Amino acid sequence: MADYREMWKELGMDVETHDDLCAVLPQAIGDVFLSQKNRPEKMDYFDFVIAEVHGVRPAELKKFREEGGKVFGTFCTYVPDEIIFAAGGISTGLCAGSQFWVPGGEQVLPPNVCPLIKASVGARLTRTCPFFRLADIYIGETTCDGKKKAYEILGEDVPMYIMDLPQMKRPEDVDKWAGEIKKLLVKAEEVTGNKVTVAALKENIHMINEKRKALMRLYKLRQNPVVPISGTDVLLISQIAYYDDPTRFTQKVNELCDELDERVANGVSVVPEGNKRILVSGTPMAVPNWKMHNIIETSGATVVCEETCTGTRYFENLVDESGETLDELIHALAERYMKINCACFTPNSGRIDDIRRLAKDYKADGIIDIHLKFCTTYDVEEYFVEREMKKDGTPFLEIETDYTDSDTQQLKTRVEAFIEMLS
């Protein structure tokens, strides 16, 4: 119950309105996480981080800034954290996942914009999230139209820097992305006042690779017939990955994996035998959006993998660490990041290959493709995902939803029916 109100005031937050969020989060965390049975002990760290979500990490960032450090807010898995850390800055994710912020976004955005964008803009403009206050500069990117245009609005309230993400994956597009990463490096140097050296970039590429490896290890454990950890818990870890200190996060994930190794060896599962294994694919689930995982895992199934930005898209593929010049390292970064398969690219058949591979590796009984309302790119692409998965004979369910609870009962019916269908 540490009193963070002074800090929030100092950050220029609307503490009174923010109180409404503080009022509901503890119960939500109790309902979604603490009500689960037989959780791994080492989830304690992640429970701590989420219990302190607007406290302990913001306090760290605040201290970092007071000592002259610069904080970069990001919105997308394509933005390379390595550059920001190599320039001596800290990168922190800013995507917002609660209906709490949506009305604030709707004051300036049309209603038919996806809730992630509305909530992110709302969190800034209503001054009700410390992370949005702590970032000295926001790094946007040209992924979807909604975000691109929303960044213009955000740019009136906070310094914004936009990376021009290609929308195709030809070799020249990878080169172009390398050029954009180089421009980000120059910008990061300008903001922090530090020069990025080859040694610093190598070191930070290694640091983020270690974080990816820890997440790969965690996901690999979910491929076992024994399910050592719930999908809901892993989703929380993936969300925390975006804003926690990378080195500490890596260490904590590895400690958890040590425990999960033991669980697998001893056949300790969090779900009864015969529970159906679900691969979730689709749009990112930002904190505190736990809606679909909670519905799926309270309907007799378990999520064994997420093909999302808060899942495999975040950590698959390592950056080649062997480069010896800035240009070589930047190109290695571009190559790794351009392997992420987001629906904003055309064509995006790599994503179909990913889903097909993940369904097999994680022994999924069915796929639930979930996209946020008004996300045109993922909504349209669903046509191919569904067709190709059905070709393979993999049961498939499409869900479109937002951050409200208004459709929970209907979604429950559909998910339960889907699980009955798998039985």
Partner 1 sequence: MYYIGIDIGSTASKVCVLPPEDGKPEEIMRCEVLPTGWSSKVTSASIKEKLEPYLNSDEGSKTVATGYGRISVDYADKVITEISCHARGGYELAGQNCSVIDIGGQDTKFISVRNGKAIDFLMNDKCAAGTGKFIEVMANRLGVDIADMFALAQEGHDNGSPVSISSLCTVFAESEVINYMGEGKDKEDLAAGIIQSVALKVATLVQRRELQDYVILTGGLSQSRFLASLLSNELNAEVHPMDNGRFAGALGAALLAKEKL
Partner 2 sequence: MDTPKAEHYYILFKNHTDGTAMYHALRAAGLSAQIAPTPRQLSVCCGVSLIIQPEEIPAIKKLAEEQELEYVKIEGVNNPFRRG
Q: Count Cβ atoms below 10 Å from residue 314 Cβ, excluding itself.
A: 20
Least Å distance, CB 414 to partner 1, is 6
Are the CB atoms for 234 and 215 separated by under 8 Å?
no
How does DSSP classify residue 413?
Answer: H
- By CB under 8 A, tell whether 289 contacts partner 2: no
Phi first, then psi, for residue 93 (nearest 5°) are -70, 145
Asked whether position 294 contacts partner 2 by CB under 8 A, the answer is yes
Count of residues engaged in binding partner 2, rule: CB under 8 A: 31
Is residue 262 involved in binding partner 2 (CB under 8 A)? no
Which of the listed partners (partner 2, partner 1, none) does 78 bind, with a CB threshold of 5 to 8 Å by partner kind? Answer: none
346 lies in the binding site for partner 1 (CB under 8 A): no
Say which entry of partner 2, partner 1, none residue 407 contacts (CB below 5 to 8 A, set by partner kind): partner 1
| 51 contact choice in partner 2, partner 1, none (CB below 5 to 8 Å, kind-dependent) | partner 2
Give the residue from 422, 413, 285, 295 showing the smallest Cα distance to 367: 422
Q: Is 259 one of the binding residues for partner 1 (CB under 8 A)? A: no
Select 298 or 317, whichever has its Cβ closest to partner 2: 298
DSSP string, 304-323: EEEESTTTHHHHSSPPP---
The site map against partner 1 for 404-423 (x = CB under 8 A) is ---x-xx--xx-xx--xx--
Give the phi and the psi of residue 365 in degrees, each rounded to 5.
-80, -25
Site string for partner 1, 348-387 (x = CB under 8 A): ----------------------------------------
Binding partner at 298 among partner 1, partner 2, none, C-beta below 5 to 8 Å by kind: partner 2
Q: Which of 13, 50, 304, 338 binds partner 2 (CB under 8 A)?
A: 50
Provide the sign of the torsion angle of the four alpha carbons 98, 104, 110, 111, taken in this order: positive
Residue closer to partner 2 (CB basis): 9 or 195? 9
Q: In terms of C-beta distances under 8 Å and separation of at least 24 residues, what long-range contacts does 297-300 make, across chains too?
A: 297/230, 297/231, 297/232, 299/412, 299/415, 299/416, 299/419, 300/275, 300/276, 300/416, 300/419
Element housing 301 (H / E):
strand 301-307
Burial of 272 (0-12, 13-18, 19+ CB in 10 A): exposed
| Smaller CB separation from partner 1, 354 or 382 | 382
Sheet arrangement for strand 276-282:
301-307, 276-282, 366-372, 396-401
User: Judged by CB under 8 A, does residue 55 bind partner 2?
Assistant: yes
Contact stretch for partner 2 (CB under 8 A) within 26-34, 101-109, 243-251, 362-370:
26-34
CB of 192 closer than 8 Å to CB of 87: yes
As given in the structure block, the two tokens for residue 190 are 């300008």
Which residues, numbered 206-225, are part of the site for partner 2 (CB under 8 A)? none
Q: How far is the CB of 21 from partner 1 (least distance, A)?
A: 27
What residues make contact with partner 2 under the rule CB under 8 A?
Answer: 1-5, 19, 22-27, 29-31, 34-36, 44, 47-48, 50-56, 294, 298-299
What residues make contact with partner 1 under the rule CB under 8 A?
Answer: 407, 409-410, 413-414, 416-417, 420-421
